[in-house]
């Protein structure tokens, strides 16, 4: 399968789930997964989803500007780099963000997030 197609499908699924049901992201992570969120490192699916669901807003809207991907390593992994805007309710201006995912294949033929790095981009 084409890596760009996989990356785009993953990104569409990830952000639509994040924007509507953050707890639903749990099945995208495993115990070995690590999230760096604004410099804070969190490991394990439950801890990562705990962090994401505890963010101080109920809803948000991601607008994706770019998705770049590269194959990674002999195990069939993939690096996915995303940039875009994040609109929070009641905020006039969108926040710019970058996020990098290292996806690894599962025996079932899908992918999980091994590494996830998120940063807001300040001007």
Q: Which of 11, 93, 23, 95 is nearest to 53 (CA)?
A: 23
Q: Where are the alpha helices (DSSP H) in 1-123?
A: 3-20, 45-53
pTM of the model: 0.94
Are the CB atoms for 105 and 111 separated by under 8 Å? yes
Mean pLDDT of 68-83: 94
- 93-110 pLDDT, tens digit per residue, is 999 999 999 999 999 989
Q: Give the pLDDT confidence score for residue 1 in this predicted structure.
A: 67
- 11-44 pLDDT, tens digit per residue, is 999 999 999 999 999 999 999 999 999 999 999 9
Residue-averaged pLDDT of the chain = 94
Are the CB atoms for 29 and 48 separated by under 8 Å? yes
Are the CB atoms for 89 and 73 separated by under 8 Å? no
């Amino acid at each position: 399968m084409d890596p760009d197609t996989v990356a785009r499908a993953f990104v569409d699924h990830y952000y639509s789930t994040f924007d509507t049901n953050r707890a639903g992201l749990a099945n995208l992570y495993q115990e070995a997964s690590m999230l760096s969120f604004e410099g804070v490192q969190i490991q394990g699916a439950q801890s990562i989803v705990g962090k994401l669901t505890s963010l101080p807003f109920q809803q948000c809207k991601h607008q994706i500007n770019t998705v770049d991907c590269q194959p990674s390593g002999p195990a069939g992994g993939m690096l996915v780099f995303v940039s875009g805007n994040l609109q929070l309710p009641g905020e006039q201006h969108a926040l710019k963000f970058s996020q990098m995912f290292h996806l690894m294949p599962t025996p079932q033929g899908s992918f999980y997030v091994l590494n996830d790095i998120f940063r807001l981009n300040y001007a």
